[in-house]
Chains A and B, each alone.
Chain A
Amino acid sequence: MKSNYLFISFLAVLFFSCSKSEDATPTGKYSSGVFISNEGQFQTGTGTVSFFNRESKTVENDIFQTVNNRPLGNILQSIEIHNNKAYLVVNNAKKVEVVQAWDFKEVGTIQGLEMPRYFLGIDDKKGYISQWGVGGIDGSVKVIDLQTNTVTKTIQVGKGAEKMLKVDNKVFVSCNGGFSNENRVFVIDLQKDEVSATISTPDNPNSLALDVNNSVWVTCNGRSQWNGTASVTVSPAQLIRINPTTNQIEQNFTFEKHGLGSLVTNKSKNTLFYSYSGRVFSQNINSGISTNPLIIKSFYGLGYDAATDMLYGAIAGNFSTNSKFIRFNISGAAIDSMNVGVAPNGFYFK
């Protein structure tokens, strides 16, 4: 009996907190700022989340552990915030940890995943999680019931299901090959949760961005092969533009070598930023590839903060000790750098 009461009161608390969150956006320590996902040490380590406060220019490291008194899990791949909840995709732990975005208190865990990569919120009830699947070659998108944090459906897509982009009632999924190679972008009908089209692309499309004209830009990494001493380009990288209505490729830029990714846009969505061959380039959506790099540095993750119009570059370092990110202005000049956790790979700007 006693446990019943406890359970009911637990439900009541849950209900209360839910209804409260629906009424108004709650505020807390982490209401405004930048979340940095740090992969953590491979094999035995844990991923961590750092929080950067833009006003005080201070970083608080490992906020998940601090708030919840437990490690997050091995290899934090990405952070996404949807409906005031932060979804922390923990790749090697095969789970997504769900926390309240404003104070990072744990609310649940999504399990039943295999090498999950990214989360995309669809509406109040539904979310998508891309994953590489067993062996890193069984790419799919898992449909998640956000009320129960459970998988309700699996949509098979190409190898290495990676980034997802919602455009009207479609979701574009770039499939970067996982532990193999792939040359397709999948289009999912988000009402039916089914693949409605596949778009043939150059090799290994890995990141996506939407521009001001509602066009979808895709970076395709190209393909390389290990010849025994170095990795040589088999097919070069390409940057393509897709018309989301017709699913047709409308424009195509070819690079010399392989190695293109981390596509982000500026606030007005008319400039693209991406990494190519260990450098960062910017490109106006109406012009061609620039030969002059914006930043001569290799980043493990790239982000654009629309609130301050700054470019953030994550330095992975040695993957075993704490590292940093650097902030740049839009002309590529470094402003400052902040120390974060082990192997930072991405940002969420809030």
Chain B
Amino acid sequence: MMLRFVCLCFAWLNTAACVLAQDSLKTKTLAGVVVQANRLAYFSSGNKIQKADSTTFSHFKTNNLADFLTNYSQVFIKSYGVGSLATPSLRGTGASHTAVLWNGFNLQSSMNGTVDLALLPAFLLDNVDIQHGGASALFGSGAVGGAIHLNSSANFGEKLSISAQIGAGSFANFQQGIKLKVSKKNFVTGVRFFNHAAENDFTFINTAKFGKPIEKQSNSAFKQYGFLQENYLKINEKQQIDLQIWYLNADRQVPPTLTTASSKASQQDESVRITTNWRYQRNKASYFARSAFFKEKLIYQEPDIQLFALSKAVTWIGEIESKIAISKNQLLNIGLNHTYFRAETDGYRIGKLQNRTSLFLSYKMNNAKDTWNTVVSLRKELIDNYFAPFTPSLGFEGILYKNWTLKGNIAKTYRVPTFNDLYWQAGGNPNLTPESGWSSEISVEYSPLPLLPKRVRKYRSNIELTLFNSLIDNWIAWLPNQQGKWEANNVLKVWSRGLELTANYSIDFQKVKLKSSISYNYVISTNEKVGKGDENSLHQQLIYVPKQTIQANISLIFNSLQLNYHQIFTGERFTTADSSQKLPFFSVGNLSIQQKIKSLSFQLQINNIWNKSYQQIAFRPMPMRNFMIVINYEF
């Protein structure tokens, strides 16, 4: 059965059937789309995975990935303000501990290990899957707290589609987007352009100034534009090749904090990302060859301190992989990845290079009925001339009893030191070793299926509880050494543990559809080993990791009218490692109303609807209630 499905999958180029078959335990489906056959779908057994469907994603089309994740996921986003730097934190880990993969390729910067989620416009993305927990064996360095998978997708054999969208909002926020797609039987090509600019000069109370005056945010404008060009070609029944080209240009001012007087700082980002993917399907095996080329440029300027810092980075990734069906219920995956990094910055003007080669292997076994499966994965990575820790993982998932499912995973995790950590002058330390640790989790899910009245067309509800525990040793931190000079060292050991509780409820009547979800997260992430002189931070919660967060969403669709409401609650966060300073709890609600009239759709977004004053980062004000109107036209 299984094999047949696998074959079907590739023959039909991974259409929905494949996702259905492979994810027989996961009830969510992505109907009618071609999904990249990545390791996430097949070999991530036991991890908690959250998939964002297209209806959920659709009303975030004018936002960036950071906005979406803030409202919809359990990924905690540390945002410096609207459009400003935003980094993820999953399960109490740091900004460089969540891998962000685009079409399977890691976007984490070789220089600082992070991905700025504010530079990933939702307009260019189709699917977002969030994998919680360690996934280094599958996805390599950096997938410690989890991984965010971004994919664009294409449907063959559809007609020409063109859509255009314009949006206007508070604080001179304007955006335009256009999508064009030609879909033939064997060929899909599409292009999307977008442009976004905002003055972002919102007013706020400056609680840090004499007399607490009302001020307008200054030096906070930004503009972004870019395009994504995609091509998918079926060479024959057995082969497909695709190519994506993504260009992005962003120019952002960096606003002052409440405690600084003014700012003239700005940041310019430019990137070109090209990925290509070839696959070949034979009877019992399928082969993949993929390659990616990323070129990034970043300029950070701060005239007040005569700073003009140019950073440039190039990444080449080549990967070959084969998936072999050994028997009806055994699947083997074996692959080889080679990545070349080159980067230069102010800290190391002579460009630095790194070559990484990794061999990875996964073995999946399931029972005859495919109600249980278990996956063992291994990875060994060579970084220039030393090996990263051997990285195994073991996961399982299955139906426990009727509507109860159980899954669990234990995985070794690691993160290779960044170029800045290794080479930055002064303080970079070429003798750093990779961070490494273990991550484990167990989840129980209950999906009740009550007797439903006839007028209910679709129903889905589930509740899932996950317990996790992870340890990261040799955590790299920059601290002053005995001579008072800053230096990167493998000093910390971080223990993160907690629980995630998620409940979903959706019901479709003939005219009304209701969808709702609520998540509660409890994360204790503490320093268990600290450097000399840092004893005050021992056993303290990591900075900017809230112990408690809640995300609640409800959406109501009535004919062509759609209402979405999100409310997030973020508990207090310490801003110093010794827990001596903290930011208070905040809660923000966002409402969006969408009305379709024939080919037109109108959307009104009301952000921060309860007009709350809050800070995500200390002394960085966030806008009060604000509005956005989006008009979309489908030709």
Give the B-binding residues of A (Cβ under 8 A). Answer: 40-41, 43-47, 70-74, 92-95, 97, 106, 108-109, 111, 114-115, 134-137, 179, 226, 228-231, 278, 298, 300, 316-322, 342
Contacts and interface: CB of A to CB of B under 8 A. Distances in A.
Contacts of A318: 479-480, 531, 533-534, 577
Given A278-B484, A298-B484, A44 B617 contact: yes
B306 A44 contact: no
B38 interface: no
A320 B577 contact: yes
B484 A93 contact: no
A70 B209 contact: yes
B259 A73 contact: yes
Nearest to A133: B304
A231 to B, nearest CB: 7
B304 to A, nearest CB: 6
B537 interface: yes
Contact of B261 (A95, A298, A320): A95
Contact of B305 (A41, A95, A109, A135): A135
Contacts of B303: 134-135
B295 to A, nearest CB: 27
B210 A41 contact: no
Contacts of B298: none
Contacts of A321: 534, 536-537, 576-578, 580
Interface in B204-226: 207-210, 212
Interface string B570-585: 0000011110110000
A300 B618 CA distance: 25
Contact of A46 (B305, B578, B619): B619
Contacts of A71: 207-208, 258-259, 619
Nearest to A111: B261
B260 A93 contact: yes
B484 A74 contact: no
Nearest to B426: A226
Given A70-B209, A321-B534, A321-B537, A44 B580 contact: no
Contacts of A94: 260-262
A44 B616 CA distance: 11
A179 B304 CA distance: 11
Interface string B386-420: 00000000000000000000000000000000000
A49 to B, nearest CB: 14
B618 A44 contact: yes
Contacts of A47: 259
B84 to A, nearest CB: 12
B425 interface: yes
Contacts of B261: 92-95, 111
A136 B426 CA distance: 21
Contacts of B575: 41, 44-45
B515 interface: no
A40 B426 CA distance: 22
B213 to A, nearest CB: 11
Given A70-B208, A109-B209, A321-B534, A135 B619 contact: no
Contact of A322 (B210, B258, B580, B618): B580
A117 B531 CA distance: 32
B483 interface: yes
9 contacts: A43-B257, A46-B259, A73-B208, A93-B261, A97-B210, A228-B425, A229-B425, A278-B484, A321-B576
Contact of A317 (B258, B306, B533, B619): B533
A298 B577 CA distance: 23
Given A44-B620, A318-B531, 6 more contacts: A46-B619, A74-B259, A228-B425, A318-B480, A318-B534, A322-B580
A73 B426 contact: no
Contacts of B534: 317-318, 321
A179 B480 contact: no
B210 A74 contact: no
A337 B258 CA distance: 32
Contacts of A111: 261
Contacts of A43: 257
B536 A322 contact: yes
A93 B259 contact: yes
Contacts of A231: 426
Nearest to A47: B259
A322 B537 CA distance: 10
B578 A322 contact: yes
Contacts of A319: 480
Contacts of B533: 317-318
Nearest to B259: A74
A59 to B, nearest CB: 13
Contacts of A229: 425
Given A43-B257, A74-B259, A135-B303, A106 B576 contact: no
| Interface of A (DSSP majority class) | loop
Top 9 nearest A-B pairs (CB, nearest first) are A94-B261, A321-B578, A74-B259, A109-B210, A135-B306, A73-B259, A74-B260, A46-B259, A71-B208
Given A321-B576, A321-B580, A322-B578, A44 B305 contact: no
Contacts of A106: 210
A112 to B, nearest CB: 10
A327 to B, nearest CB: 19
A97 B259 CA distance: 12
Contact of B257 (A44, A228, A322): A44
Contacts of A115: 304
Contacts of A95: 261
Given A44-B618, A298-B483, A321-B536, A179 B208 contact: no
Given A44-B620, A135-B304, A135-B305, A316 B484 contact: yes
B262 A74 contact: no
A46 B208 contact: yes
Contacts of B578: 321-322
Contacts of B210: 70, 97, 106, 108-109
A93 B306 CA distance: 17
Contacts of A300: 484
Contacts of A73: 208, 259-260
A43 B209 CA distance: 17
Contacts of B480: 316-319
Contacts of B305: 135-136, 179
Nearest to A73: B259
A229 B430 CA distance: 12
B240 to A, nearest CB: 48
Contacts of A228: 425
Contacts of A137: 306
A97 B482 CA distance: 34
A278 B536 CA distance: 24
Interface in B241-258: 257-258
Contacts of B425: 226, 228-229
Interface string B179-206: 0000000000000000000000000000
B97 to A, nearest CB: 19
Given A74-B260, A228-B425, A320 B576 contact: yes
Contacts of B618: 44-46
Nearest to A61: B580
A70 B209 CA distance: 7
Interface in B613-635: 617-620
A183 B211 CA distance: 41
- Most chain B CB within 10 A, of A106, A228, A321, is at A321
Contacts of B577: 318, 320-321
Interface in B78-106: none
Nearest to B533: A317
Contacts of B426: 226, 230-231
- Most chain A CB within 10 A, of B303, B304, B479, is at B304
Contacts of B484: 278, 298, 300, 316
Contacts of B617: 44
B257 A74 contact: yes
- Most chain A CB within 10 A, of B426, B575, B580, is at B580
Contacts of B581: 45
